[in-house]
Amino acid sequence: MLPHPILIDIDSTNVDSAPCCGINDPAHPGLLEKRRWLKAHLKLGLRAKILVDDDGKPCGYIEYLPGEYAWRRVDASGYMFIHCIWNHSRRNRGKGWASAMVKACVSDARVAGMSGVAVMTRKGPWLAGSALFAANGFRRVDIAPPDYELWAVKLKAHAPNPTFRDGFDAKTTRLSDELTIVRSAQCPYIAKFAAEISQSAQQKYGIAPQVLNLRSARDAQNAPTPYAVFSILSRGSVLADHQISRIRFHNIMRSEITESRRSSMVLVHGLRHPSLKTEN
């Protein structure tokens, strides 16, 4: 039997054939975008590893890169920054496999002479929770609303902590369109969600959303939300700060419409969503 966990490095020679976040369709637009994105970021020091289970099947992933190029709203210069980590194989959870991925990252950061390793966590979907990092010597160094945490392990004792970049409110209120979708190629699922939501917004609610495609780490570090790479905003308010399905989008819009109707009784009738096509 092979020693576990098995980690396979993604590099420029195998990036086009490496498994990608459980997406099997080779023509999936998000997969193609993500591979182009990976190729560009491998040149900037990105490292990505696939975790393989006992049967040789891909079951996990870690992706990290120098903090200067982090696609999150953080200032993590000098730190290695973990974008994603997951171990999808429930029967192989709790065996230290994710810790092995974290340790591989810390080892790379040490070899590269970096200040440490940083990661963003939260309890909700699309980011790992903090327990894994607490168990691996990380400490919480910053928080951002509503429930984001920044954790770091230092390799240089006197290095300044990484931080969230503040100014979220100023950023969101500038995005005053009826609907804005912020998207990027960092996660391969974003392309599908963003396209479906954009289409639904137009067909079901008569709103042509403004779609902002983040093209660089600098764009992401200035994005309106901490997670940065996907969000939906309406008139300066955040409707979603991580990837959501079309169904979730409908539910949010329904409650926005209800709220709008309620406030229109005291304000000017129909002012908030003049172009909404409701179901009844």
**Measuring CA to CA, how many Å separate 111 from each of 51, 68, 80, 104, 115?**
22, 17, 11, 11, 11
Site for ligand COA contains 37 (CB under 6 A): no
Which positions from 133 to 172 touch ligand COA by CB under 6 A, shown as an x/- string? --x-------------------------------------
**Contact call for residues 107 and 60 (beta carbons, < 8 A):** no
The residue assigned the tokens 């396979």 is: 8
**From the CB of 155, what's the least distance to ligand COA, in Å?**
20
Q: Which of 111, 131, 157, 265 binds ligand COA (CB under 6 A)?
A: 131
**From the CB of 168, what's the least distance to ligand COA, in Å?**
21
Which positions from 65 to 84 touch ligand COA by CB under 6 A, shown as an x/- string? -------------------x
**Measuring CA to CA, how many Å separate 144 from each of 63, 122, 127, 167, 233?**
22, 10, 14, 11, 18
Q: Which of 19, 29, 45, 96 binds ligand COA (CB under 6 A)?
A: 96
Of 38-46, 123-131, 149-157, 228-236, which part binds ligand COA (CB under 6 A)? 123-131
Range 198-201 contact pairs with CB under 8 angstroms and sequence separation of 24 or more: 200/246, 200/249, 200/250, 201/249, 201/253
- HSE at residue 172, side-chain half, CA atoms within 13 A, is 19
Contacting positions for ligand COA (CB under 6 A): 84-87, 93-99, 126-129, 131-132, 135
